Structures are given as C-alpha cells and as structure tokens.
Structure 1
Amino acid sequence: MTIQNTIEQKLGQAFNSDFLAVENESHKHNVPANSETHFKVTLVSAAFDGQGRVKRHQAIYGLLAEELAGGVHALALHLFTPAEWAASGQASPESPNCLGGSKNDPAFAAGGSQ
C-alpha cells in the first residue's frame, strides 16, 4: 500500500467526511522521482464544527503521526466544515511550486549546514 493510500484510508476511517482528497505533490519538490513526501489533504467533515484551525490540524497530525515520523515531510491541510466548504466554492487552494529548498541556499551550496 502506498503512503497516499494509507493516509486516505486513515482519514476516511477516522472522519465521516463529505469530501476527502489526498494529493501527492512530491513531484513539485526537490525529491527523487516517485517520492511520497509531500501531500495536500482537503477534508470536509462535520467533525470540525466548533473547532479552530489549530485543533483541526492537531487531530490530523495525531492521526498521521506514524507517517510524519517516517517519510512524509510535509502536509498541506485544507480542513473545512460542510458550511465552510460550501462558502469556499468547494475548492482548495493550489499549492505553490517548490522554490528549491536548500539547493538554492548559498550557505548550503558552499558546504554549510542547516
């Protein structure tokens, strides 16, 4: 099972979602081909009613702790209640392209450490 499938399965089981999309965005970053390191999650659930952004993110981070401790480097989280999703036009923001990370850092390129 891929990491993406594992994330989808865990979120699908933990949340009664109106909408769930897990996108592997690793190809937009400075990683080897076929990596599973960067993901965008869009999740719409009534479970988020009455919760602020921090509590929502904490719930996802707790659920995906094993993946985050392993190979997952980044999660872009777009978490909505059904009402928020309807008001948003039912679209999550596009993720920006990677700016190259440390490969474009002059200190790193000169042999420095981060």
Structure 2
Amino acid sequence: MSASFDFMSASAADKIAHLEARLNATLQPQSVHIDDDSAAHAGHAGAAAGSHYTVTIVAECFAGKARVARHRLVYDALAEEMRRGVHALAIRAYTPQEFAEQFE
C-alpha cells in the first residue's frame, strides 16, 4: 500500500488490509490479526471514521523487548496511519514462543 492510501475514506476491510500490510512489511510477523473495535466506541471521538483497533501480532522481533518497546515498534510501523485516521490502537504483541505457550 502506498503513502497515497486515503485511510479516512477507505472501507473498513481496506483499512484493516492496509494496516496488516504495513505491519507485515515493517515487522515481518509470523502472524497479525486486526479487529475493528469502532462499533464499541460509538459516540466517542474518532469512532465515526472507524478508527479503533485491536492488533494481535506475533513476531520474532519482539524477543528480549519489554512491552513498551514492543508497542513502540508497532506504533512506529503505523506512524502515518496514527496521524491520519487511527484514533485508538490496543496492542497484543507476542514472540512466537510466548504465543505458543499461551494459546496452543
């Protein structure tokens, strides 16, 4: 997805696809899943644009990093989107080993 992607006018599915593409290109995760939580925030600032998301991402690049450092990597990967349409982002960042231990 190019820098010319118009996040604010894109469909909900295109927004998620764009966010996933950015995270895949930047962090090369084993997996990434994004939920649009905007409906749960109806009436809250930013909700009208569909801009509340939960990201669950599993990537080796998180190994040895504290939670804040992991979140910074995700925010940095989505810096442009954070300025142009993403209002809120909940992040669940795991290493592959942590994810396997917790969910498998």
**Class of the TM-score when normalised by the shorter of the 2 chains:** 0.7 to 0.9
> What's the CA shift for 1:3?
2.3
Q: How many angstroms does 1:70 deviate by?
A: 1.4
Let me know the Cα RMSD of the aligned residues. Answer: 1.4
Q: Give me the identity figure in percent.
A: 33
Larger radius of gyration: 1
Q: Could you tell me how far 1:62 is from its partner in structure 2?
A: 1.1
Q: How many residues align?
A: 88
What does residue range 46-65 of structure 1 map to in structure 2 within 5 Å?
A: 46-65=60-79
Q: Which residue of 2 aligns with 1:71?
A: 85
Question: TM-score, normalization: structure 1?
Answer: 0.70
2:24 counterpart of 1:12: yes
Q: Distance in 1 between matches of 2:41 and 2:22?
A: 24
Letter in 2 for 1:80: Y
User: How is 1:19-98 mapped onto 2 (pairs within 5 angstroms)?
Assistant: 19-30=31-42, 31-32=47-48, 35-89=49-103
Of structures 1 and 2, the one scoring higher in RCO (CA 8 A, sep 6+) is: 2
Unaligned runs of 5+ in 1: 91-114
Cα displacement string for residues 47-72 of structure 1 (whole angstroms, at most 9, x for unaligned residues)? 11111111111111111111111111
User: By how many angstroms is 1:36 displaced?
Assistant: 2.1
